[in-house]
Amino acid sequence: MIVLAQVEIQKARTLLGHMPEQANRLIHFLNTHTSEELAALEIRDRTGTIQTVKRVLTMKNFIQNLERKCQDMQVGINAFTEKFTVLQEKGLPSLLTNDHKLMTHKNYAHKVNTYVTDQITASSSTSEERTLPSG
């Protein structure tokens, strides 16, 4: 999902080009010239032009917010991966299928339940006498 978002961010950046840098200057230009001066430049609708420029700035802000969200998600994913790797090193089953795809929740829950059952069976068969936990 993050990769798709990054692809879309790049497309939006390409579409915007240098417009965000020019947008504030254009708004200032439109606000400081008279209707006659703008008409001479073939700008007949000052308000519509300003709204179009503001859309560019809004899109720029959306892109920046999406980039921040992607970075936050990546940090969270990395933290989860590190913690899950530690658990896997201690014997927890992998989240991946044989063809390296992510398992469904239902399949993984079944796999973990089977793993736990096997661990309980293995530990109970190795101890001859069961004692109640103390403490």
Residues 77-95 have pLDDT tens digits of 999 989 988 988 888 888 8
The share of the chain scoring above pLDDT 90, in percent, equals 27
Say which DSSP state 98 is in: T
pLDDT of residue 16 exceeding 80, the answer is yes
For residue 135, what pLDDT is reported?
A: 44
110 and 73 share one domain: no
87 and 99 share one domain: no
Tens digits of per-residue pLDDT, 27-57? 888 888 888 888 888 888 888 888 888 898 9
Sign of CA dihedral 47, 49, 50, 55: positive
Contact by Cβ (8 Å): 112, 84:
no
73 and 36 share one domain: yes
pLDDT of residue 128 exceeding 70, the answer is no
For residue 127, what pLDDT is reported?
A: 56
Q: Which domain holds residue 28?
A: 2-92
88 and 22 share one domain: yes
